[in-house]
Chain A
C-alpha cells in the first residue's frame, strides 16, 4: 500500500510541477459556463474571450511559425488565444482536442484539419454550443464551419505552383511531383488542380509520376534521387509541400544535374535559399503561413463581435486585398513568388 501511495504522490508532484510552469488557468475566468452561448460573455477584466487556434501538425514549421503571430493577433483584438493541436498527424487526438475545447467553452475555434470531413461532426457540435468555427488552411465541409478564412480558391492555389514550374523549365518537358503524407486532402486536391491546370494551359508539360514522403528531409532527398534515376528525361521536380524544395535541390546538386533539372513548387523561402544559390532552383512559391493564422483569428474575432462583413471587398486592417465571396468564404490573396533576386528579402 505504501508503494501505491508513493506512486500517487510522485505522479501528483509531477503533474503539479508541470502545471506550475504552464499558463495559469485564470486566463479563462471570463468564459461563460459551457451551457450558455458564448455571445453573452460579460466583458469582465480585459479579455473579451478566448479564441482557439488548432492545427493538425503543430510540430511542422508550416504551422509553428504562426503561433506567436496568431497569439498576438488575438491579443490585439482583446482575446486570449489557445494555440494547440496534435504534434504529429493524429486524427483521434485532434478530435479529442476539439471536444475538450468545446467543453472549455471557448468563443471561437480556428481549425486547420488534414481532411475536409473527419472533424465535421465535432465542429458541428461546437456550432450547436454557439462556438464560432473558422476553418483555415484546408476548408472543411461547409456545414461544419461558420466561415472559411482562406488564402484564395484552392484551385487557384495550384496555379502559382504550375507557374513556378513554367518559370523554371518553360512550357514543355517532363515533370514529377513530390508530395507529403498520402492521405492529406489539402495536398491531394492541390495535385488535382495542378495537373488539371497544367493540362489545360500547358499541354507540352507532362507529369510522369507523383511520389510521396512523410515530410522527412532524408526521405524527400531519397525520393528525389529515385525520381532522377527512374525518369532520366525529367526536367523539374515540383514540391507540393513547403519543406520539399531544399532536399530536392540537394539531390539535384549531388547528382550533378544543375541546369538540367530544377526544383520548383512550394517552399518556405529559407529552405529554398541554398538551392537558389546553387542554381538548382530558380522559382518557388509560398504564402505567408503565419499571416494565414492571423487572418483566421481576425475573421473569428469579427464573427464573435458580429462585425458586418458583406460580400465583396472588405476593409480589414493589414489585409489590403481581403474579400468575402459567397458561401461564408473569406480570402486575403497574398502569394509570394520567390526568385534568386528576391529570395533574400524573406525570412521564414
Chain B
C-alpha cells in the first residue's frame, strides 16, 4: 500500500513537471526549443548526481552536508591531475575516484563507527574537504585543457543529446534498483527507520552506513566529473553552493528528512522540477531574487498540500507504515 502511495506521489510530480513544462512553453517562446530542452536536461545532471547522494544519506537517517565540498574537491583533483600534471584521462579519473571513495570512507567512519551525528560529522568534513582543495589549488581556479575532458560535460551525442544525460540515466537506474530491489539497499531504509530495530534484526548497521557514505562520495565524484568538464577547470568551493539545493530537491521528491522514506525516482523528479522552474523563469526573465522566493514558496506549498490529510503528519505516518512493512 505505501508503495502505491509513493507511486501516486511520483505520478503527481510527473504531472506537475508536465504542467510546468506546458506553462513555460506558452510563457516563453524560447523555452520549448530543442536546444533548450536538451540544455535543461543537461543542467539537471550535476544537481542530480549530488541529490542522489544526498537522498541516499537522508534515507539512512542522516544528511551528508559534505557532498558539495567533496564534489568541489573532486573538480580540483581532476583539474590538477589532468590539467597541471598532464596525466592521461583514465588513470587520473580512476585515482580521483579512489581518493573520493577514501573521503567517503572517512565520512562513513565518523558516522558509523564513532557514532557522530551525521550532520555534525559532515559539517566538519565539509570544512576539511574545502580546506584540502584550497591548499592543493592555492585558491585559484585550476584549468584543464578544454579538449581533454570535453566528453563528460559538453559533448553532444549525435549533435543533440548531451553526453552527461546518457551518463546520468544509467546511474539513476542502477542506484534506484540497488536501493529498492537489493537486500543491502533495503537495509538502508531499515537503518533509516530505526537503527536499533535494524541492529536487532541482524543487520550490520555499521557496514550499511559505510555503504551509504561511499555511495554518496561516488555520486559526488560523478558530479565533479561532469561539472569540471562543463567548466573545463576545478575550484575548491565550486559546488558548495549546491548543498542546500540538493536537500530541497530531495524533499521535493518525497524523501523524508527523518530517514527511511522516499524513492530515488522521486528525488530525481524533485531535481527535474527545481531545474525546470529555474530554467523556465530564466527564460521569462524573472529576477533571480524573485526566483528564490518562488522556489521557497513552491517547496512550502507542495509539502503543505502533501500534508493536508491525516491527523498525524503523513511523513511520520508513512514512515511508520513503511518501517512496519520492512520489519
Contact = CB atoms under 8 A, between A and B. Distances in A.
The answer to A–B direct touch (Cβ < 8 A) is yes
Interface stretch (A6-14, A228-236, A293-301): A6-14
Given A16-B23, A104-B28, 11 more contacts: A12-B23, A14-B297, A86-B288, A88-B241, A89-B237, A92-B47, A95-B230, A103-B30, A103-B35, A121-B154, A182-B139
A328 interface: no
Contacts of B36: 34, 100, 103
Interface in B291-320: 292-294, 297-298, 301-302, 305-306, 308-309
A7 B301 contact: yes
Interface stretch (A18-26, A36-44, A330-338): A18-26
Contacts of B233: 115, 117-118
11 contacts: A3-B305, A14-B301, A15-B277, A87-B288, A91-B231, A92-B242, A96-B278, A103-B39, A117-B141, A117-B143, A182-B236
Tell which of A58, A93, A100 has the most Cβ of chain B within 10 Å.
A100
B161 to A, nearest CB: 15
A342 interface: no
Given A14-B294, A23-B285, A4 B11 contact: yes
Contact of B238 (A27, A28, A92, A182): A92
Contact-size category for A: 35 or more
B46 interface: yes
Interface in A75-115: 82, 84-93, 95-97, 99-101, 103-105, 115
Contacts, number: 176
A16 B236 CA distance: 38
Interface string B147-190: 00000011000000000000000000000000000000000000
A11 B302 CA distance: 8
A122 B162 CA distance: 14
Contact of A90 (B39, B241, B309): B241
Contacts of A1: 8
A95 B231 contact: yes
Interface stretch (B12-20, B86-94, B201-209): B12-20
Given A22-B287, A25-B28, A58-B288, A3 B241 contact: no
Contacts of B84: none
B286 to A, nearest CB: 5
Contacts of B42: 99
A159 to B, nearest CB: 22
A105 B30 contact: yes
A119 B8 CA distance: 40
B286 A19 contact: yes
7 smallest CB-CB distances across A and B, nearest first, come from A4-B12, A118-B231, A100-B282, A115-B141, A90-B241, A103-B36, A7-B305
Contacts of B292: 87
Interface in A152-169: none
Interface string A295-332: 00000000000000000000000000000000000000
Nearest to A117: B233
A1 B31 CA distance: 29
A188 interface: yes
A183 B282 contact: no
A105 B11 CA distance: 34
Given A103-B33, A117-B231, A92 B236 contact: no
A288 interface: no
B196 interface: no
Contact of A87 (B227, B236, B289): B289
A230 to B, nearest CB: 20
Interface of B: 8-9, 11-12, 15-16, 19-20, 23, 27-31, 33, 35-36, 39, 42-43, 46-47, 134, 137, 139-141, 143, 146, 153-154, 227, 230-233, 235-239, 241-242, 277-279, 281-290, 292-294, 297-298, 301-302, 305-306, 308-309
Given A4-B11, A121-B146, A25 B235 contact: no
A215 interface: no
Contacts of B23: 12, 15-16
B231 A19 contact: no
Contacts of B241: 88-93
Main SS class of interface, A: helix
Interface of A: 1, 3-4, 6-8, 10-12, 14-16, 18-19, 22-23, 25, 27-28, 33-34, 58-59, 82, 84-93, 95-97, 99-101, 103-105, 115-122, 181-183, 185, 188
A18 B134 contact: no
B242 A117 contact: no
A58 B287 CA distance: 10
Given A22-B287, A34-B30, A34-B33, A7 B12 contact: yes
A3 B235 CA distance: 44
Nearest to A23: B285
Nearest to B37: A103
A110 to B, nearest CB: 16
A16 B294 CA distance: 10
Contacts of B27: 19, 25
Nearest to B305: A7
Contacts of A33: 33
A82 B285 contact: yes
Nearest to B50: A92
A33 B278 CA distance: 21
Contacts of B238: 91-92, 118, 183
Contacts of A7: 12, 16, 301-302, 305-306
A3 B282 contact: no
B239 A18 contact: no
A8 B15 contact: yes
B43 A99 contact: yes
A118 B305 contact: no
Nearest to B154: A121
Given A86-B288, A95-B231, A115-B235, A100 B279 contact: yes
A3 B286 contact: no
Given A14-B297, A25-B28, A34-B30, A84 B288 contact: yes
